[in-house]
Chain A
Amino acid sequence: MSATAPTNADLAVSGPGLGDPSPSAGGPGRRLSVNLRQSGIYVAFALIVLLFSVLTDGALLQPQNISNIIVQNSYILILAIGMILIIIAGHIDLSAGSVVAVTGAVAAVLMVEHDVPWPLALLITLVVGGLIGAWQGFWIAYFGIPAFIVTLAGMLLFRALTLTVLGNQGIGPFPDPVRTLANGFTEGYLGNIGLGPLGGADLFSLLVGIAAVVGFAAVQWRGRMARLGYHQTVEPLPLFVLKIVVAAVVVMTVIVQLARFKNLPWVLVLLAALILAYSLVTSRAVFGRQIYAVGGNLQAATLSGVKVKSVIFWIFVNMGVLAALAGVIFAGRLNQAGPTAGGSFELDAIAAAFIGGAAVQGGVGKVVGAITGGLIMGVINNGMSLIGAPSEQVMLVKGVVLLAAVAFDVWTKRRAGASR
């Protein structure tokens, strides 16, 4: 009953991108306000995109620029996926940037200095990331040291390890497949197709986009039918259709622009797979539920038979693996593993999670929300650099946005509390 108790809406932040398992309930007035809260982050994202489109005379949405935004932010978004799980469980990871650096260095040493075949080297790097996560997870979950301290120590430890491995220089260049994963695009497997005034576009990319949209709509429709079959309340049909149409338009706009440029970036394919998988895990898997339970009320979770320690351990292992993936991609993008790689990445990932609606106390947050939060910052970075704003202004704006997002969240929760 506390004033800070969040409402149902936090838990059911419904994204245009992915399925939301829980339908809204309540009368029409309540539904409207709930929807506003659920969609606040997406509305904000749309407004920011709109603002920078105007300020940059449309340069923001040019094909090449869209591609740039995705590729430049991919590693932050991958970290944000791991980070949101940790934040939902009520913890934090300050070491992500250093882990990115050390895993990038490990990958470089394996691939460049020892000529290990790249798939094996990638696998080994991911395992190393997992071990790093296990190391931190052990101290946090089983030894009981706050994650803040353990990962602060990790931030230093793994940076030191990076410097030890690399000396004081970068290692490169990486094999072509790794660079392609980080920086490259799908081939034009099916050739180009004319889109009238928009010019030629890659047919394969367009088909992938159409398949994604159709698949999304079908899954949503099936979910709706199943819920109706169980006599559950579902959102009204027009709203349901509107949601799918908006999602389809957004996805297809991005895809068309990418298809006009150089086809689909491989990291986008990877990201899409990760987002889909982790959204499913958080919303449908027992493990995902346990993360929310641990973050929402640790004692209640313990007394409900959740293996709290093991849940916390594994989300840090997961974070380590994702950080290793981000490390390889970042190194591949720069084509060398450098000693200063990943500096302050963890802060961007944390900011993405909180802008995306995670709660400081834990128990609340969504993968899609964190991704949107990361994209908001990515668009701000990109848009401001397009209009030639100096970096101090970029920082200023990002700081204000982070504070405003969390303040909005706290404010709406308090209002929800007061209205009872």
Chain B
Amino acid sequence: MTDDILRMHDITKTFPGVRALQEVNLSVGRGEIHAICGENGAGKSTLMKVLSGVYPHGSYSGEISFDGEACEFSDIRDSERRGIVIIHQELALCPQLSIAENIFLGNERAARGLIDWNRTNHEAAELLARVGLRENPVTTVSDIGVGKQQLVEIAKALSKRVRLLILDEPTAALNDRDSEHLLDLLRGLRDQGITCVIISHKLNEIAAIADRISILRDGRMIETLDMRTDEVTEDRIISGMVGRDLDHRFPPREPRIGTEILRIEDWTVHSPTQHGRVVVSNANLTLRRGEIVGLAGLMGAGRTELAMSVFGRAYGTNITGRLVKDGTEISVRSVRDAIRHGIAYATEDRKRYGLNLIEDIKRNISAAGLGKLARRGWVDDNREYQVADEFRTSMNIKAPSVLSTTGKLSGGNQQKVVLSKWIFTNPDVLILDEPTRGIDVGAKYEIYSIINRLADEGKAVLVISSELPELLGLCDRIYTLSAGRVTAEVAREDATQEGLMRYMTKGQTDTTNGRSTGSGRSDTTNEQE
């Protein structure tokens, strides 16, 4: 296929301390459905943001040509003018406006500055017919379901004379029937000459709909498979996504695993924002002293929700189940309870949930254990400084002093501050959620060393990670989570990336019934706000 509508050449995009994309090449044929696959953090969304101008020309290196012409988009409007429309995972609709208003938002059907409502609603009705949505255009968007909202987004894209439609996890939030309808619609659009790029974790869907598949891993383009000529199975895609070689190095460790320290029994958590939705279902996990346990799962599987609900019910409602620590059941109803019982949780989003970025290192490190530095409510400043400075040395936090603002540190050093904060509370159980997300290789090694040290001290460490090689290199045992259920418990010796990925995707489609949001993180976010 030589008739490419889109060519991206040698795209490199770096964030402070991280290379998100490295010399990525992508070509998309005219009128095809092109799927992009990869693990969380492989660079899929970044690549699409480069393409759509979210990251403007100049913030990345490399060239983009669309329909034979070089493109230098400075923002989303630029790319939309050329017919490239992106539909993000978190839908960008205004819930209080009508369907028609949303479709023509920023693109109003107006004459002499006044909106022509007849024309707006009439044209909206035509677009709705094209996407097969039978709703009145004046209906408020918040009154229709997530699946229909997704169709409104597509109608909105069509109104912009879309030629290349990018969908980021379009079916993550949909139930089977809505997903089916959406995929049919994409096939229909392809027949009308609209090219689609689709990002999805649901490999069965990709296998069903895509003409070609490009696979990203660690910011590099690994390969492009042609579904029409090659024999491509889901396993084939998985092996491309996870790679064969463990190219990370891990510090050596002799595990000395002791007795059970924490048991999570029949743990069930409901979503605080969506009534009746089960986020974690009957999960059973055990952690032992000196053990590093992994928790694997795709985005939206409920990993963070499980961890945060255990950590003093910081997430979720209607939580049932038992926590047994050292053989006795404990009641953990608040974060303070959790800290008192020796449980620590380092968040996956350290900037939003982990650190006070405008404060200095010292005050961040003392934040969770301030009581240990205080007598009768008064903080011993000098002692605090001393403690923080000891952590700066032992954790190798690279900063001129503990009075440096945490917001100015690199991701790796920020993470060390978060870990210091929790280590200072002297926990028995540490839950580390994506401890190496967004930090460079060198700092990762240091974080791994810290995790090993904690285990050697007899603490239990539960590591949540999207990077399977990391779990395989670090953990003694790995639980896999899929759609809120623990689907497997695998010892390190028996674990392979392919095997884990199979458990992580197990039952993906048959358990996401009803209205559900896709991304676990966006759900957590809603709860916090």
B354 at the interface (CB under 8 A from A): yes
A233 at the interface (CB under 8 A from B): yes
For residue B385, which residues in chain A have a CB less than 8 angstroms away from its CB? 227, 230, 232
B356 touches A286 (CB 8 A): no
A307 at the interface (CB under 8 A from B): yes
B270 at the interface (CB under 8 A from A): no
Query: With the chains together, A284 CA to B376 CA distance in Å?
Result: 11
- Closest Cβ of chain B to A235, distance in Å, is 12
A301 touches B374 (CB 8 A): no
A237 at the interface (CB under 8 A from B): no
For residue B371, which residues in chain A have a CB less than 8 angstroms away from its CB? 286
- Closest Cβ of chain B to A301, distance in Å, is 7
A305 touches B336 (CB 8 A): yes
B392 at the interface (CB under 8 A from A): no
Other-chain contact of A25, B336, B352, B370, B400 (Cβ < 8 Å): B400
Among residues 219 to 241 in chain A, which have CB atoms less than 8 Å away from a CB atom of chain B?
226-227, 229-230, 232-233
For residue A305, which residues in chain B have a CB less than 8 angstroms away from its CB? 312, 334-336, 338-339, 368
B379 touches A285 (CB 8 A): yes
Pick from B115-123, B280-288, B402-410 the stretch touching chain A.
Answer: B402-410
A5 touches B404 (CB 8 A): no
A230 touches B386 (CB 8 A): yes
Known: A1-B16, A286-B379, A303-B345. A11 touches B400 (CB 8 A): no
B490 at the interface (CB under 8 A from A): no
Taken residue by residue from 1 to 32, chain A's Cβ proximity to chain B (1 for < 8 Å, 0 otherwise) reads as 11001111011100000000111111000000
- Closest Cβ of chain A to B309, distance in Å, is 13
Other-chain contact of A304, B351, B352, B404, B421 (Cβ < 8 Å): B421
B408 touches A420 (CB 8 A): yes
A326 at the interface (CB under 8 A from B): no
Known: A5-B358, A230-B385, A289-B370. A303 touches B403 (CB 8 A): no
For residue B234, which residues in chain A have a CB less than 8 angstroms away from its CB? none
Query: With the chains together, A233 CA to B353 CA distance in Å?
Result: 31
Known: A25-B401, A363-B356. A300 touches B367 (CB 8 A): yes
B457 at the interface (CB under 8 A from A): no
For residue A290, which residues in chain B have a CB less than 8 angstroms away from its CB? 370
- Closest Cβ of chain A to B223, distance in Å, is 34
B347 touches A303 (CB 8 A): yes
Taken residue by residue from 368 to 392, chain B's Cβ proximity to chain A (1 for < 8 Å, 0 otherwise) reads as 1011001001110110011001000
For residue A420, which residues in chain B have a CB less than 8 angstroms away from its CB? 408
A11 touches B360 (CB 8 A): yes
B326 at the interface (CB under 8 A from A): no
B314 touches A293 (CB 8 A): no
Other-chain contact of A300, B312, B336, B355, B389 (Cβ < 8 Å): B355
A261 at the interface (CB under 8 A from B): no
For residue B359, which residues in chain A have a CB less than 8 angstroms away from its CB? 11, 292-293, 296, 363
Most chain B beta carbons < 10 A, residue from A296, A301, A307: A296
- Closest Cβ of chain A to B346, distance in Å, is 9
B403 touches A23 (CB 8 A): yes
Q: Is the interface of B mostly helix, strand, loop or mixed?
A: mixed
Q: Which chain A residue shows the least CB distance to B357? A: A5
Most chain A beta carbons < 10 A, residue from B336, B356, B382: B356
For residue A283, which residues in chain B have a CB less than 8 angstroms away from its CB? 381
For residue B366, which residues in chain A have a CB less than 8 angstroms away from its CB? 289
For residue A253, which residues in chain B have a CB less than 8 angstroms away from its CB? none
B526 at the interface (CB under 8 A from A): no
Most chain B beta carbons < 10 A, residue from A1, A22, A304: A304
B528 at the interface (CB under 8 A from A): yes
For residue A303, which residues in chain B have a CB less than 8 angstroms away from its CB? 311, 314, 335, 345, 347, 353-354
Among residues 312 to 337 in chain B, which have CB atoms less than 8 Å away from a CB atom of chain A?
312, 314, 334-336
Give the size range of B's interface with the partner.
Answer: 35 or more
For residue B347, which residues in chain A have a CB less than 8 angstroms away from its CB? 303
A284 touches B355 (CB 8 A): no
Among residues 363 to 417 in chain A, which have CB atoms less than 8 Å away from a CB atom of chain B?
363-364
Known: A5-B357, A8-B405, A307-B336. A302 touches B381 (CB 8 A): no
Most chain B beta carbons < 10 A, residue from A232, A292, A297: A297
Known: A11-B360, A297-B355, A300-B367. A289 touches B379 (CB 8 A): yes
B363 at the interface (CB under 8 A from A): yes
Q: Which chain B residue shows the least CB distance to A8? A: B405
A299 touches B353 (CB 8 A): yes
B354 touches A300 (CB 8 A): yes
Known: A285-B379, A286-B377. A5 touches B356 (CB 8 A): no
A289 touches B404 (CB 8 A): no
Other-chain contact of A286, B311, B334, B370, B407 (Cβ < 8 Å): B370
B360 touches A232 (CB 8 A): no
Query: With the chains together, A292 CA to B354 CA distance in Å?
Result: 15
B360 touches A284 (CB 8 A): no
A287 at the interface (CB under 8 A from B): yes
B357 touches A299 (CB 8 A): no
A284 touches B363 (CB 8 A): no
Query: With the chains together, A22 CA to B405 CA distance in Å?
Result: 13
Known: A8-B405, A26-B400, A303-B335. A286 touches B378 (CB 8 A): yes
B356 touches A301 (CB 8 A): yes
B335 touches A304 (CB 8 A): yes
A304 touches B379 (CB 8 A): no
For residue A26, which residues in chain B have a CB less than 8 angstroms away from its CB? 400-401
B382 touches A226 (CB 8 A): yes
A286 touches B353 (CB 8 A): no
Q: Which chain A residue shows the least CB distance to B351? A: A1
Q: Which chain A residue shows the least CB distance to B371? A: A286
For residue A6, which residues in chain B have a CB less than 8 angstroms away from its CB? 358, 405
For residue B367, which residues in chain A have a CB less than 8 angstroms away from its CB? 289, 293, 300-301, 304, 306
A297 touches B400 (CB 8 A): no
Q: Which chain A residue shows the least CB distance to B408? A: A420
Other-chain contact of B358, A23, A24, A364 (Cβ < 8 Å): A364
Query: With the chains together, A284 CA to B366 CA distance in Å?
Result: 13
Query: With the chains together, A7 CA to B359 CA distance in Å?
Result: 8
For residue A300, which residues in chain B have a CB less than 8 angstroms away from its CB? 352-356, 367
A5 touches B382 (CB 8 A): no
For residue A23, which residues in chain B have a CB less than 8 angstroms away from its CB? 403
Query: With the chains together, A286 CA to B367 CA distance in Å?
Result: 10
Query: With the chains together, A292 CA to B407 CA distance in Å?
Result: 15
Query: With the chains together, A296 CA to B379 CA distance in Å?
Result: 19
Query: With the chains together, A227 CA to B378 CA distance in Å?
Result: 17
A297 touches B357 (CB 8 A): yes
Taken residue by residue from 219 to 257, chain B's Cβ proximity to chain A (1 for < 8 Å, 0 otherwise) reads as 000000000000000000000000000000000000000
A286 touches B358 (CB 8 A): no
- Closest Cβ of chain B to A103, distance in Å, is 27
A8 touches B374 (CB 8 A): no
21 contacts between A and B (CB under 8 A): A1-B408, A2-B407, A5-B357, A5-B358, A5-B407, A11-B359, A11-B405, A21-B381, A23-B403, A233-B401, A284-B379, A286-B377, A287-B377, A293-B356, A293-B367, A300-B355, A300-B356, A302-B314, A303-B311, A305-B334, A307-B336
Q: Which 6 pairs across A and B sit closest by C-beta, in order of nearness?
A: A296-B356, A5-B407, A304-B368, A25-B401, A304-B367, A297-B356
New A-B contacts (9) at CB < 8 Å, excluding given A25-B403, A303-B347, A359-B358: A1-B407, A5-B358, A226-B382, A232-B389, A286-B379, A287-B377, A300-B353, A303-B335, A363-B358
